[in-house]
Amino acid sequence: MSITPVTDRYWWKVPMDREEVIWVAIAFIWCLFMFFMMPYWHVFGKQNLAHAAVRTSAGEYMKKAEEGVAKWKVREETEQKIPVIAPPPDSDVYLVARLWSWWPILELEAGKTYKVHLMSMDWLHGFSLQPENINIMVHPGYDHAVTMTPTRKGEFAIICNEYCGVNHHTMVSRIYVK
């Protein structure tokens, strides 16, 4: 039994049952297939993270974000006067995550590609784009560049999905796609 010592001294020489052999073989092939799906998707799939991240300081990053706002601001929204920026395609767009807001608001064009940078000024945050349901971690000190191509027009929400303290659930923003 499984709870008694194995007295058969050569238990490793006992042949496997047939279904065990077949199952191990099938399971192993399935495991290898799943393993190779990941590199396959890097080559042929369209949804991958490039992991282009550089270390930087909150001050440096904020400066770049402010430059972007100065260049591309089209309007302000809400009482907090959060700037909305409409960067040209293929530009570097800096999005700031901090307790408990995203800054600025982005206005992008469908079918165009943007290099969206993500970094936190303080704690960990989660970039969660809804209803697309794309979820990326945002760290302090790591400027993470993600190349995004919006595919359809509309209003998208960025919600924070990494717990960041008592007002975590109020950290919501927008991306407009025209």
Partner 1 sequence: MATNRNFRTCPSSGLLFHEPAEKLMRWNAVVGVVCLLLGGLLAIGVVLTRWQAVHWLAPDRFYQVLTAHGINMLVFWIIFFEMAVLYFASSTLLRSRLATPNLAWAGFWLMVLGALMNNLAVLRGDSSVMFTAYAPMGAHPIFYLGLILFAVGALIGCFVFLGTLVVAKAERTYEGSIPLVTFGALTACIIAVFTIASGAIILIPTFLWSVGLVPQIDSLMYKTIFWAFGHSSQQVNVAAHVAVWYAIAAIVFGAKPMSEKVSRTAFFLYILFLQLASAHHLLADPGLTSYWKIFNTSYAMYLAVLASMVHGLTVPGAIEVAQRKKGYTNGLFEWLRKAPWGNPVFSGMFISLLGFGFLGGISGVIMGVEQINLIIHNTIYVPGHFHATVVIGTTLAFMALTYFLIPVLFRRELAFPGIARWQPYVFGLGMSGVAVFLMGAGTLGVPRRHWDISFAGTAFAYEFPGAAWLMMALGSISGLVAIVGGGMYLLVTVYSVFLGRRIETPGFAHVRARDGVAPSQAPVAAAITSHGQSAGFSAPGTFVLAMVFLVAFALYYFVNWKYLSTVWPLS
Q: Which of residues 12-31 bind partner 1 (CB under 8 A)?
A: 12, 14-20, 22-24, 26-28, 30-31
Name which of 27 and 74 has its Cβ closer to partner 1: 27
**Is residue 59 a contact residue for partner 1 (CB under 8 A)?**
no
For partner 1, which stretch binds (CB under 8 A), given 63-71, 83-91, 159-167?
A: 159-167
User: Residue written as tokens 């936190």?
Assistant: 120
85/61 Cα distance (integer angstroms) = 17
- Choose the stretch contacting partner 1; rule: CB under 8 A; options: 57-65, 66-74, 89-97, 132-140: 132-140
Question: 71 or 151, CB closer to partner 1?
Answer: 151
160, 171 Cβ separation under 8 angstroms: yes
DSSP class of residue 120 equals E
Q: Which residues in the 75-114 window bind partner 1 by CB under 8 A?
A: 77-80
Closest CB 66 distance from partner 1, rounded Å: 21
CA–CA dist 37, 44 (Å, integer): 10
Using the minimum distance from each CB to partner 1, give the nearer residue, 64 or 141. Answer: 141
CB closer to partner 1, 70 vs 134: 134
Q: Does 164 bind partner 1 (CB under 8 A)?
A: yes
* Other Cβ atoms within 10 Å of 23 Cβ, number: 12
Q: Could you tell me which residues are beta bridge partners of residue 67?
A: none
Q: Is residue 130 a contact point for partner 1 (CB under 8 A)?
A: yes
The CA distance from 63 to 26, in Å, is 55
Q: Which of 86, 81, 151, 155 is nearest to 113 (CA)?
A: 151
The residues that bridge with 83 in the sheet, in sequence order, are 76
Q: Does 146 bind partner 1 (CB under 8 A)?
A: yes
